[in-house]
Amino acid sequence: MKESLADRIKKLYIGLYKTPLLVKLGLFILLLVIFMGLFGSLIAPYDPFTQNIAFRLSPPLSVIAEKHHIFGTDPLGRDILSRIILGARVSLIISLVSVLCAGTFGTVAGIISGFYRGFLDIVISRIIDIQLAIPFMILAVAIAAILGPGLTNTVLVLTVTTWARYARLVRAQTLSLRENEFVESARAMGAGDFRIMFYHIAPNLLSTVIIISVLEVARIILAEAALSFLGLSVKPSTITWGAMVADGRDYLGRAWWVSTIPGLAILTTVLGFNLLGNWIRDKLDPTLRIL
């Protein structure tokens, strides 16, 4: 008999203590970033907004007026470590909310498209094709230019540009799921379309959607960082890792740490999500390896 998803998740949980070291590392990074996002203002060593022009661009590990700047200071003399800790919040909020929105929207669109087939499917599939045909950054920049900066707008941009990835896969799986006997028997029991789609078909899509979502968080963090690097994400006063990398661009020759260290924060976080996502994928459904 085929194991149910609940069984597989339980096994996943039990297996955690004998997971590979790299996966534990990924989990650790993830927990660390979430911790930074939740308690950032409490654990940051200094106020991330306090400027001190006299001590601008001090190198990492420098001690100024009894203040230890582990990662140095930026062009306005602000502590880089504190800014990285505070920056985690924006990255996390934007990426998690965008993945939630895009995942929900893409899944619903994919189920409807695959379930009803016919005209509705043709329309939705064409929209997916069109969406995937426009280079991601160009669409994101165009929408960001229309909407202007801001947290909600960035979430909107990332949702609009990524939902099609879920929709395409979910549609393909729904097409084969709807031919199963359990759909027929549900129909015989008098279940309506809505009930079949969301109570009978959707649970079978769960593992696919979970896998895409975790890997998608990694890609969304990168995309948000790229947008904020271009100055198209949240308002300039909000701390983001991407904007911090951009801040240091003009000082590369004099102060290498201003750009590179916030970039390492992005790299580490995305690496954590990728390690975790790859592992969950290999456990739940190795056939999705092409993602």
Partner 1 sequence: MQSIIVIIGVLLIVFTLIRLSGDPVFLLLPPEASFEDIQRLRAQLGLDRPIYVQFYIFLSSAIQGDLGYSFFFHRPALTVVLSRVPATLQLATLSICITLVIALPLGIIAALRRDSWVDRFSMSLSLFGQSMPTFWFAIVLILIFSILLGWFPAFGRGSIRHLILPSVTLGFYNAAIITQLLRSSLLEVLNKNYIRTAYAKGLAFRIVLVRHAIKNASLPVITMLGLQFSNLMGGAIITETVFAYPGLGNLVISSIYRRDFPVVQAFVVVISLVIVYVNLLVDILYTILDPRIKYK
Helix and strand numbers, DSSP H then E, in the chain = 11, 2
Indicate the DSSP class of residue 79. Answer: B
Per CB under 8 A, the segment of 84-92, 104-112, 191-199, 272-280 that binds partner 1 is 272-280
- 206 token code pair: 């769960």
- 129 token code pair: 């094709």
Site for partner 1 contains 252 (CB under 8 A): yes
Site for partner 1 contains 90 (CB under 8 A): no
Judged by beta carbon, residue 132 or residue 186, the one nearer partner 1 is 132
From 273, 235, 260, select the one nearest 92 (Cα to Cα). 273
Distance CA 103, CA 121 (A): 18
Site for partner 1 contains 242 (CB under 8 A): yes
Q: What residues between 21 and 80 interact with partner 1 by CB under 8 A? A: none
Q: What residues between 125 and 154 interact with partner 1 by CB under 8 A? A: 126-127, 129-130, 133-138, 141-143, 145-146
Q: What residues between 207 and 236 interact with partner 1 by CB under 8 A? A: 218, 222, 225-226, 229-230
Residue length, the chain? 291
Centroid of chain to Cα 176: 28
Per CB under 8 A, the segment of 4-12, 47-55, 86-94, 251-259 that binds partner 1 is 251-259
Centroid of chain to Cα 188: 40
Of the residues 19, 274, 283, 288, which one makes contact with partner 1 according to CB under 8 A: 274
Per CB under 8 A, the segment of 11-19, 106-114, 165-173, 263-271 that binds partner 1 is 263-271
Q: Taking a C-beta distance cutoff of 8 angstroms, is the pair 5, 255 a contact? A: no
